[in-house]
Amino acid sequence: MGAIRQWFWVLALLSFLAAWGISRVNQPSSHVVTAVSPSTELITLTVSAAASLQDVIGALDLKFESAHPNIQVNYNFAASGTLQRQIEQGASADLFIAAASKQMDALQEKNLIINDTRRNLLTNSLALVVPRDSTLGIREFQHLSDPAVNRISIGEPRSVPAGQYAEEVFQDLDILEQLRPKLVYGNSVRNVLGTVESGNADAGIVYATDARISDRVRTVTTAAPHLHTPIVYPIAVIAASRHPQAARTYGQFLTSPEVQGMFSEYGFGPAAS
């Protein structure tokens, strides 16, 4: 009899639990998980940007993604000419930020950007830098003609805007032909900076913003603006972008007053409106 009574209570307990479970299933829940709305779908943008922007853009990244958590940004930093060619050859890109008008003009002529998104974002200046421990006494561009100066690093002018600007300065000062045998070319302005930092060049021409980030070089002078084409950074959404609206959002973020203030902290100037 004791065993029968035990089985009776076990069966009763199981029946109670089954009935309770059914009632829970039929009750409406206040914790129903809803589908993610299309507006929160994660979008990945690819921004192709001039190498000289690498540090400041990196600092801005968290601020943008915090304000726009559904947009993740991947960056492709290189010389503006290299980025131009990549876009022309069909490389994936949503937004282009160049360090000169020339590369953006080339894309615009081929209808590869959305014209109404193009604007000038920033300005910069050109600096003559030497290794911090240099004893050559270089204080101005004309001193680069001194026989004691053997190697001068500049960007490759056809693809690196800073190299194009450097040649313009040398041409305007009538020292370009004297300096040609001394010139060593870098594939980006950061490559030029590294060459001077390592002591593999006696001097180099970089943007003032690049010179600021290194404690292994010192700026001896900056080029007067009239010696070269104005240094501007144009920005535009790529016509083949898969996310043109998100790319516009990112472009608008970069032109906001708060972000322009951060650009200023890194040494960039505002573009003329």
Residue 117: partners with Cβ closer than 8 Å, 6 or more residues away: 235, 236, 237, 247, 248, 251
Return the pLDDT at 30. Answer: 35
Give residue 8's pLDDT: 44
3-state class (DSSP) for residue 135: coil
Dihedral (C-alpha) 89, 94, 98, 102: value to the nearest 10 degrees? 50
d(CA 18, CA 6): 19
pLDDT at 123: 97
Given a contact cutoff of 8 angstroms between Cβ atoms, the answer to whether 100 and 123 are in contact is no
pLDDT of residue 15: 52
Question: How large is the angle between the packed helices 101-109 and 161-172, nearest 10 degrees?
Answer: 120
Contacts of residue 146, Cβ cutoff 8 Å, sequence gap at least 6? 136, 137, 138
pLDDT score of 148: 97
User: What is the reported pLDDT for 41?
Assistant: 84
Instruction: Sketch out the chain's domains with CATH numbers.
Output: 41-123+232-270 (3.40.190.10), 126-227 (3.40.190.10)
Q: Which helix (H) or strand (E) is 78 found in, with range?
A: strand 71-78
pLDDT (0 to 100) of residue 32: 33
Please, is 11 exposed, middle or buried when counting C-beta atoms within 10 Å of its C-beta (0-12, 13-18, 19+)? Answer: exposed
List CB contacts of 51: < 8 A, sequence separation 6 or more: 77, 78, 79, 99, 188, 189, 190
List per-block mean pLDDT (blocks of 10 residues) for the chain, which spans 273 residues.
46 48 39 40 96 94 93 97 97 97 97 98 98 97 98 97 98 98 97 98 98 97 97 98 97 94 95 75
